[in-house]
Amino acid sequence: MKFSLMFFSASGSEMSGDSGGRYDLLMDAVRLIDNSAVSAVWLPERHFAEFGGLYPNPAVLGAAVARETSCIRIRAGSVILPLQDPLRVVEEWSVVDNLSDGRVEVSFGSGWNVNDFVLAPKHYDDRRAIMHEGIDTVRRLWRGERVERVNGVGRSVQIGTLPRPVQPELPVWLTSQSEAGFAHAGSTGEPVLTNLNFNSPKILARNCEVYRENLPEGGSERAQVALMVHTFVGTDDASARRTVADPLRGYLRSNLDLRAQFAEGKSGERPEVAAAQVDAIIERGVDRILDWAGLIGGDVGTLAEKVAYFAAQGVDELVCLVDFGIDLDDTQAGIVRLCELADLMAH
């Protein structure tokens, strides 16, 4: 099993004004995992909401991470391509590729939150087709090809991007939760980034099976499934569960608010849910993560069983989400212990 870190904080509006410090955990964490068996960091793209609001542009933070590290892979998880111009995507990530000496990888997603599409409202209905077309354009530009565009006076011109990246080919991932998305990713031979937000273990296992059934004949060197899991490695199982329970409640409550925003954006009305029902949903979510959908614990045997469980579903890499409201010192200590666990698993 491979291990990587992901950041997706729900504290986008905290520490406003001149307080600063919003990205201290990220920068401390990437320095901690550099030269460890935790081999990569994932940076998301999130817009206009408290949930994930610290991360509107993964390329900007990727550039900062590049200068703080020397070994880890720097991954976008994910670039929502229907919101972007492929020209800008290649320009930005080529800079990060240069700053990191060729450590960039990008997972592309089609997006789902209607309010995000204020950036490109005409792209929402056809967002999946636009994503696939955009990936092809990104690949061509990354290789040094030129694309035709119309300039400011209505004249067609051939445009290429600068600076040239270090890597001759951009390592591409596809972000998906659906069986159809896994089938498509398998047919391309590209690796998949996924999560368990709406999926059961049975669905995850089936998606992984479909992915491998659709790989090109002879397989693919890059084929793998990376699964995002809420992660905290403590000193023992009981204290680890106590440490994460309340932060998880707050984190999941913020996620529910994002889902409500999505529904409001589509219908114009915010769904009304009784407080008791919200509390029940959150408690079920906390129990789900603590029991099987997360990597929460302290005993090496317990954690090894959970890793083996995910491997049995077809997962090749655990993408460890660590910034979900736990105390800063506890989070940093948990990352150190995660590195020790990854080193142990690697041997």
CATH of the domain at 328: 3.20.20.30
Neighbours of 210 (CB within 10 A): 19
The size of the chain, in residues, is 347
**Under DSSP, is residue 197 helix (H, G, I), strand (E, B) or coil?**
coil
Task: Give the pLDDT of residue 15.
Answer: 39
**Under DSSP, is residue 106 helix (H, G, I), strand (E, B) or coil?**
strand
C-alpha distance across the termini of the chain, in Å: 11
Looking at the 3D structure of the chain, how many domains does it have?
Answer: 1
Task: Give the pLDDT of residue 277.
Answer: 81
Neighbours of 40 (CB within 10 A): 22
Residues 6+ apart with CB under 8 A from 18: none
Task: Give the pLDDT of residue 52.
Answer: 77
How many whole angstroms separate alpha carbon 333 and alpha carbon 230? 15
Domain that holds residue 143: 2-346
The DSSP element (H or E) to which 329 belongs, if any, is helix 328-346
How many whole angstroms separate alpha carbon 103 and alpha carbon 73? 5
Task: Give the pLDDT of residue 280.
Answer: 87
Task: Give the pLDDT of residue 257.
Answer: 65
DSSP-assigned beta bridge partners for residue 35: none
How does pLDDT run along the chain (347 residues), one tens digit per residue? Answer: 999 999 987 664 443 344 558 899 999 999 999 999 999 999 999 988 777 789 999 999 999 999 999 999 999 999 999 999 999 999 999 999 999 999 999 999 999 889 899 999 999 999 999 999 999 999 999 999 999 999 999 999 999 999 999 999 999 999 999 999 999 999 999 999 999 987 888 999 999 999 999 999 888 899 999 999 999 999 999 999 999 999 999 888 877 765 655 555 566 666 676 677 878 889 999 999 999 999 999 999 999 999 999 999 999 999 999 999 899 999 999 999 999 999 998 87
Q: Model's pTM, two decimal places?
A: 0.93
